[in-house]
Structure formats: structure tokens, C-alpha cells
């Protein structure tokens, strides 16, 4: 898995590349280990645990990264954590939107109503 993102902090702009080895484990878990030779991080890991709960989904996400680049003490770490949190929540929103679309496509036999459902969901797919 590879993720490249551009970040802006005040007048500064920089790219971060994160590359990881993804392994799906038993019990609906996804484990990701950073590949330091390729990306912007010396080390890191992430764990995603995904469980159905009725018509909703429970998601637990934990991650830890050690960057190769300099982060300004205190304020820099705060900004990076908030930016990564915002991106993670946006990703969850897009995943949920896609799941709702796929569910509607599976359950909806009326093609006109399906078009309405898909048009309503179109905006949530965009990053």
C-alpha cells in the first residue's frame, strides 16, 4: 500500500509518502507495517479492526509512525496529528459512503430509485 499526501502548514508545503506492507489477519483485522526503505518514515505500524454492528460498522484504528523528516517540537506534532486524524476520518466517511452505495445496489431493484440513491451519495465519494 502506498499513500502520498501534500500538507500545508502556514506558508510551508511538503509531501509525505507512506509505504506499508498490508496483511489481513483473522478476526477482521488489517495489519500494516511501514517499509522504511521507500517512504518518508523510519518505522511505523497500523492496525485496523473492523466489525459489523447491525446496520453499522465499528472501526478501530491505531497507528504509530517515526518520520524521517523534522517536526517542530510541540506545535508541529500537534498539527501533524490533527491533519492525520482529519484524513483518517475522511477516509472512514468515504468507505462508509461506498458501503452504502454497494448495499443500495444489492437491495434496490427499481433502477429509477437506485439512480436517486446514487446521485445523493455522489458527493461523499469525492476526497
Note the pLDDT of residue 43. 95
Query: Nine-digit cell at 13?
Result: 508545503
Please name which of 93, 35, 90, 101 lies closest in space to residue 68, comparing C-alpha atoms: 35
Does residue 22 sit in the same domain as residue 6?
yes
Whole-number average pLDDT of the chain: 79
Q: Which of 70, 98, 119 delimits the end of a domain?
A: 70
Tell me the pTM: 0.63
Overall average pLDDT of the 69-74 stretch:
78
CA distance 84 to 101: 26
Maximum mean pLDDT: which of 47-51, 76-80, 117-121:
47-51
Does residue 105 carry a pLDDT above 80? Answer: no
Domain count of the fold of the chain? 2
The residue ranges of DSSP E strands in 1-127, in sequence order, are 2-9, 12-25, 29-34, 41-53, 56-67
Residue of 9 and 16 predicted with greater confidence: 16
Instruction: Give the containing element (helix H, strand E) for 77.
Output: helix 75-107
Give the structural domain span for 89: 74-127
Note the pLDDT of residue 8. 73
Amino acid at each position: 500500500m502506498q499513500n502520498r499526501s501534500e500538507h500545508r502548514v502556514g506558508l510551508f508545503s511538503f509531501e509525505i509518502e507512506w509505504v506499508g506492507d498490508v496483511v489481513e489477519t483473522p478476526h477482521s483485522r488489517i495489519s500494516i507495517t511501514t517499509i522504511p526503505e521507500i517512504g518518508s518514515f523510519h518505522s511505523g505500524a497500523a492496525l485496523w479492526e473492523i466489525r459489523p454492528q447491525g446496520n453499522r460498522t465499528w472501526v478501530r484504528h491505531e497507528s504509530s509512525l517515526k518520520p524521517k523528516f523534522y517536526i517542530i517540537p510541540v506545535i508541529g506534532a500537534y498539527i501533524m496529528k490533527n491533519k492525520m486524524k482529519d484524513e483518517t476520518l475522511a477516509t472512514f466517511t468515504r468507505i462508509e459512503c461506498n458501503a452504502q452505495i454497494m448495499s443500495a445496489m444489492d437491495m434496490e431493484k427499481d433502477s429509477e430509485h437506485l439512480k436517486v440513491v446514487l446521485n445523493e451519495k455522489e458527493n461523499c465519494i469525492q476526497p
